[in-house]
Structure 1
C-alpha cells in the first residue's frame, strides 16, 4: 500500500477508535438530549460523521455507486449534512440503531475500499468544498481531522451530560 494512503487510513482508524471510547457508556436516553448551552446532540454528531465519511472516503474517491444506497439513504444524508440543524425530538430523527448502523457500515466500507485505491489517483483534483488540499488525498486527510473535530464536540456533550472525561 502507498505510504500516503497507509498514513491516511491509520489516521481514520485512530479517529474512529477515539470516538468509540467517547460513546462507550452513552445511554439511549442521552442520544438526542441537548443540554443547556449545547446546540447539538450525539445522534446528530454520529449521523453527520457517517455522512461526511461517506463523502470524503468513498464518494470523493470513486464517485457514487448503486450499492451506496445500502450504506446510507438519501434522506439520512440530507438530514445530517453540513448546515443542518440538529432536531432534539427523537421522533424526528432516525432510530438510534439506524444512526449507529449507518455510522458503522460507512466506516467498514471505507476500510474495505481504501486499501484498494491506486496511489496514482491520490493527486487527482476534487471540487469544492474541500479543506487544505483540493485532491483526493486531501479529502482522506481531512476525513480523520473532521472526525476528531466532532470528537471534541462529543466530548463536550459528554461533560454536559454529566459524564467523566475519557483518556
Structure 2
C-alpha cells in the first residue's frame, strides 16, 4: 500500500463510520446535543463539510465542491448556539455532500505527486499538519474526531448500535 492508498482508505473508513451514525437519524434528531455545551449533530455535519472544503482549497485551490450561499456561515463558530431548524440542512442534504466531497478530494489527491505531498502545508495549518500530505490525512480523519459525539446522541435517542 502506498501513501495515497492509505489516505484514501482512512478517508473511506471515517466517512463510513460517520454516515452510518447519521443514516437513521431524522432532521429533528440531528438537532440533539450530546451534552451541555456541545454542538448538535446538524452543526457538526455542516462544520465537517465546510471544513473539508476549506482545507482542500487551501492545498488545491478550486478543488473543493461549491457549497450553497450561507452554508459555511450557518455552520461557523458564530452559529453554534442556534437550535433553529431553518439554519440547518436536512439529513438527506448533509449526506448528499459526502460522495461529492470524496470525488473532489480524491481527484485533488490523484493530481499531486509524492513531492507535492511533501511540500509545506499552508502556514495556518503547519502547527498540526507540517505538509500537504498531512492536510490530506486531516481531511481523511476529521470526521473521526467528531464521531465520539454522535454515539452519545444515538444512546440518548435509543438508537441501535451500528458499529
Aligned twin of 1:48: 47
**Aligned with residue 150 of structure 2, among 146, 150, 154:** 154
1:63 and 2:61 correspond: yes
Q: Tell me, in whole angstroms, the C-alpha distance in 1 between the residues paired with 2:107 and 2:8.
A: 11
Runs (5+) with no aligned partner, structure 2: none
1:101 and 2:100 correspond: no
Aligned twin of 1:37: 36
Q: Tell me, in whole angstroms, the C-alpha distance in 1 between the residues paired with 2:10 and 2:35.
A: 33
Asked whether the 8 Å contact 2:28–2:85 carries over to 1, the reply is no
Runs (5+) with no aligned partner, structure 1: none
Q: Report how far residue 83 of structure 1 moved.
A: 6.2
Aligned twin of 2:23: 24
Q: Report how far residue 88 of structure 1 moved.
A: 1.2
Q: Segments of 4+ in structure 1 off by > 4 A? A: none
Matched residue of 2:33: which SS?
Answer: coil
Relative to structure 1, the CA distance from residue 90 to residue 28 in structure 2 (aligned partners, 3 Å threshold; closer, same or farther) is same
**Aligned with residue 132 of structure 2, among 113, 119, 136:** 136
Q: Tell me, in whole angstroms, the C-alpha distance in 1 between the residues paired with 2:73 and 2:39.
A: 16
Asked whether the 8 Å contact 1:31–1:43 carries over to 2, the reply is yes
Matched residue of 2:123: which SS?
Answer: coil
TM-score, length-scaled by structure 2: 0.81
**Aligned with residue 113 of structure 1, among 87, 108, 115:** 108
Asked whether the 8 Å contact 1:35–1:161 carries over to 2, the reply is no
Matched residue of 1:28: which SS?
Answer: coil
Matched residue of 1:128: which SS?
Answer: helix
Question: What is the RMSD computed on CA atoms of the aligned residues?
Answer: 2.6
Relative to structure 1, the CA distance from residue 97 to residue 17 in structure 2 (aligned partners, 3 Å threshold; closer, same or farther) is closer
TM-score, length-scaled by structure 1: 0.80
